[in-house]
Structure 1
Amino acid sequence: MRSFSAVEFGDLASVEMLLERDPVLVRKTTVFDRHSALHIAAANGRIEIISMLLDRSVNPDLLNRHKQTPLMFAAMHGNISCVRKLIQAGANILMFDSIHGRTCLHYAACYGHPECLQVILFAAYTSHVAVSWGFSRFVNIRDGKGATPLHLAAHQRQPECVHILLDKGALVCASTGGYGFPGSTPLHLAARGGSLDCTRELLAWGADRLQKDASGRIPYTVALKHKHGACAALLNPSSAEPLVWPSPLKFIGELNQEAKAMLERALMEANREREKNILKGTAYSLPSPSHSEDAMDDNVSEISDTNLCCICFDQACTIEVQDCGHQMCAQCTLALCCHNKPNPTTASLAAPVCPFCRSSIAQLVVAKVKTENDTGHAISSSKLRRSRKSRTFSEGSSSFKGLSAVGSFGRIGDPGSGRIAVENEWVDKA
């Protein structure tokens, strides 16, 4: 039909002309798949046409033959402006299709569109969904085969989506029903796909390397079966445990974005050191960095002694403890807070105290430390040059090497958008 072709190619003038002649066209659908003009516009990112159709009171939740909504199509193709527009128009994020029993959140996670994922999650958090369903329940919503959005993101090798979902409360050890292999966790699916980045994210958020699927296989066995040697090395139960993000701690859950990003980077760096030791001498050794830290050395001065962390004497103080105001580096902050492996008792783990004054930690913020460069201009502590001293983190212990001698620490407890043909069938990637 001419109107659908005009929508597909974004010919707004032709669409408007055709609708002026025959307003009933807004309710027409394609013959087989029952795609409406709104479905086709959403799939192809035609935001002007979507706006025009919605202004004509077109229902944003129109269903095609498989009960898929325009919002699902927009999320599937990563058309972020269309996702925003449809949600603003009242599109229901809790609609399920009839093919896989999936929502728009499943589609955004499966097809790897982190921005769409963020918009949908924000909509859920700020709407009636959080009240009627509960936000955590929405994040962990299951499709017809028991797969959560996290399962789909891990299976499809989408580490950014994996990180966002874990950050929003996705259950890292949830088992599937019939999706993938019965009883698979996100870690099983990441191992099956051989995604090192997804594996890293899942392990850093507490995924259990020993959890078995319905056939009694652990993720290590799955990685070996599919010949993903690097993943298998990290998942080997005999290799060192990774550091795990201390999400049960209240002040960690209340971190501002800057402090959180800084600590997350430090966590991943610590686990990268662990990986290098595990993979050293194997065919899967990690590549060297593509650029040297010396690139930033020319314009940045040495870290002054007054700015050095008084625990490790190696890194600049970047994190401040409130309310006492004591400062330490991000790595030592992690040594204070992190545990090494999933442990049911960590949910009620007593919060650590400041290692300097033993007072309770109310909040962690970015330290406002400044130094002077050669030109006399002040620069923030986040741009301080890293020490040339090599940093090696301990294996199998929640503290870093060199921290065990610090009395105040002691031993820390375990704690794409693409055009679609009008009559095409949708093929699931998963």
Structure 2
Amino acid sequence: MGQQLSCVASQEHGELFTAVQFGELEIVKIMLDRDPSLLHQTTVYDRQSPLHIAAANGQIEILSMLLERSVDPDIVNRHKQTPLMLAAMHGKISCLKMLIEAGANILKFDSLNGRTCLHYAAYYGHSDCLQVILSTAQSSPVAASWGYARFVNIRDGRGATPLHLAARQKRPECVHILLDNGALVCASTGGYGCPGSTPLHLAARGGSLDCIRELLAWGADRLQRDASGRIPYGVALRHKHPNCAALLNPSSAEPLVWPSPLKFISELNQEAKGLLERALMKANREREKSIFKGSSTCSDHSPQIADAEVDDNASEVSDTELCCICFEQVCTIEVQDCGHQMCAHCTLALCCHNKPNPTTASVTPPVCPFCRSTIARLVVARVKISEDAADESLGGFGSPKLRKSWKSRNLSEGSSSFKGLSANLGSFGKMGGRGSGRIAAENEWMDKPCQ
């Protein structure tokens, strides 16, 4: 008799979990109204609750209904994984947001590898989930007790930060987001990968050119050694990634580094920051051309292909919009106080030619090459009126003669600074310019040991 009741209960539980997995909201409501105790039942082996299954499968309506019935948002399964972790694992952004709004703890660790939801999002490459978790951490009282920088660099049970995981799994978007939020570019692991590996070692091992580019652009050290005494260059060679090895070769050209120690860089609005970051990456791609030249093994992401596009619009733009330093690129960046404008490439030349190290203290900010005032803030430049219609409305202001005098005036304003800047621009070159719904098995969490 007791065995028969147990079988009936077990069958009912299975029907509930299936209904949750496939989003059958009405069936789930009927079953829970008939037997509220089903709300706290779990699967036999993994101990997955209905909330876990709903989060992993992106069933937002069922998730909402379960949370309204006072289900603990931090309930754990057999591996101490929370629904928030599973939502981050499978990239279910709506479920992740709802769980956070319901009070889910972003600092919970699982028992498989000692990872948080931030590790999960970085490992599986869900950049949107990663961004939401980081935004939450900036205002979360739990993360505030730790400190935001500590949370961004939180380590799992094997000493890996989210940046290590993103670099190893070839997730360049996640690498960029983490670096932009203060991830330590030269942090060493404990037992993850090879002991003492930096994100650059792990990116070299995975063979991701894009991740290597991001890390180098944020000041990763090509000469830093792991516990076995290997530099990233040796790791790339060992794992047969010749293009990565070419970039990581210490004798190759040094990449330009994002000038994060400068205060006005950290205060840039997103639009201006995006312009400068794209210019930085393009400048580094230009340098890569000499490194990859003659290589017959370049991947689809090699600079020859990526840089093939040329900005043909530059020839169509009025001279009044061209940068008065290089006379090639359109002015996109403006120094806020004095109003002088430059292209993004020349702006970076002012900031990057000394290759500032992101780990050092703040350096002296550069000065405007036109008026020699200290640059305190940069903004996106306002578009100048430069069409033929401007000739009529402004009485011939757009004529070639006046455009030429406008150039000369701006050149004379900062003549003392152009000599030094021109030398630095030589290093830039001429720029062309523009989850499944299942829950992971336990063996998926075991990272391969170092070879």
The bucket for the TM-score relative to the shorter chain is 0.7 to 0.9
Equivalence for 1:418: 436
Equivalent of 1:101 in 114, 117, 123: 114
What is the total number of aligned residue pairs between the two structures?
396
Equivalence for 1:328: 342
What RMSD over aligned residues (CA atoms) do the two structures have, in Å? Answer: 2.3
Q: TM-score, normalised by structure 2?
A: 0.83
Equivalent of 1:132 in 131, 137, 145: 145
Equivalence for 2:7: none
The amino acid of 1:61's aligned partner reads D
The amino acid of 1:420's aligned partner reads R
- Structure with max Cα Rg: 2
Preserved CA contact (<8 Å) 1:242 1:340: no
Q: Are 1:409 and 2:426 an aligned pair?
A: no
SS at match of 2:378: strand
The amino acid of 2:256's aligned partner reads L
Q: Report the alpha carbon displacement of residue 350 of structure 1 after superposing the two structures with TM.
A: 1.0
The amino acid of 1:407's aligned partner reads K
* CA spacing shift, 1:373–1:24, aligned 2, 3 Å: farther
* CA spacing shift, 1:196–1:291, aligned 2, 3 Å: closer
What CA distance in whole angstroms lies between the structure 1 residues aligned with 2:66 and 2:317? 59
Q: Are 1:86 and 2:103 an aligned pair?
A: no
The amino acid of 1:305's aligned partner reads D
What CA distance in whole angstroms lies between the structure 1 residues aligned with 2:127 and 2:276? 21
Equivalent of 2:200 in 167, 179, 187: 187
Q: Report the alpha carbon displacement of residue 130 of structure 1 after superposing the two structures with TM.
A: 4.2
Range moving further from structure 2, 25-34 or 142-151? 25-34
What CA distance in whole angstroms lies between the structure 2 residues aligned with 1:38 and 1:98? 19
The amino acid of 1:304's aligned partner reads S
- CA deviation vs aligned residue, 1:245-284 (integer Å, no higher than 9, x gap): 0001000000001000000010010011111111011124
SS at match of 1:348: coil
What CA distance in whole angstroms lies between the structure 1 residues aligned with 2:315 and 2:252? 39
Q: Are 1:31 and 2:55 an aligned pair?
A: no
SS at match of 2:444: coil
Equivalent of 1:308 in 317, 322, 325: 322
Preserved CA contact (<8 Å) 2:259 2:356: no
- CA deviation vs aligned residue, 1:61-87 (integer Å, no higher than 9, x gap): 001111100000000000000000000
Equivalence for 1:271: 284
Q: Are 1:217 and 2:230 an aligned pair?
A: yes
Equivalent of 1:40 in 43, 53, 66: 53
Preserved CA contact (<8 Å) 2:323 2:342: yes
Q: Report the alpha carbon displacement of residue 9 of structure 1 after superposing the two structures with TM.
A: 1.1
What CA distance in whole angstroms lies between the structure 1 residues aligned with 2:359 and 2:59? 51
What CA distance in whole angstroms lies between the structure 2 residues aligned with 1:15 and 1:369? 57
Q: Report the alpha carbon displacement of residue 346 of structure 1 after superposing the two structures with TM.
A: 4.5
Q: 5+ residue gaps in structure 2?
A: 1-13, 391-414, 425-434
Preserved CA contact (<8 Å) 2:80 2:111: yes
The amino acid of 1:215's aligned partner reads S
* CA spacing shift, 1:405–1:363, aligned 2, 3 Å: closer
Preserved CA contact (<8 Å) 2:261 2:356: no
What CA distance in whole angstroms lies between the structure 2 residues aligned with 1:32 and 1:306? 70
What CA distance in whole angstroms lies between the structure 1 residues aligned with 2:441 and 2:232? 37
Equivalence for 1:288: 305
Equivalence for 1:385: none
Q: Report the alpha carbon displacement of residue 322 of structure 1 after superposing the two structures with TM.
A: 1.9
Range moving further from structure 2, 315-324 or 230-239? 315-324
Q: Report the alpha carbon displacement of residue 18 of structure 1 after superposing the two structures with TM.
A: 0.4
Preserved CA contact (<8 Å) 2:332 2:344: yes
Q: Report the alpha carbon displacement of residue 427 of structure 1 after superposing the two structures with TM.
A: 2.0
What CA distance in whole angstroms lies between the structure 1 residues aligned with 2:210 and 2:359? 27
Q: Are 1:13 and 2:26 an aligned pair?
A: yes
Preserved CA contact (<8 Å) 1:242 1:271: yes
Q: 5+ residue gaps in structure 1?
A: 377-402
Q: TM-score, normalised by structure 1?
A: 0.87
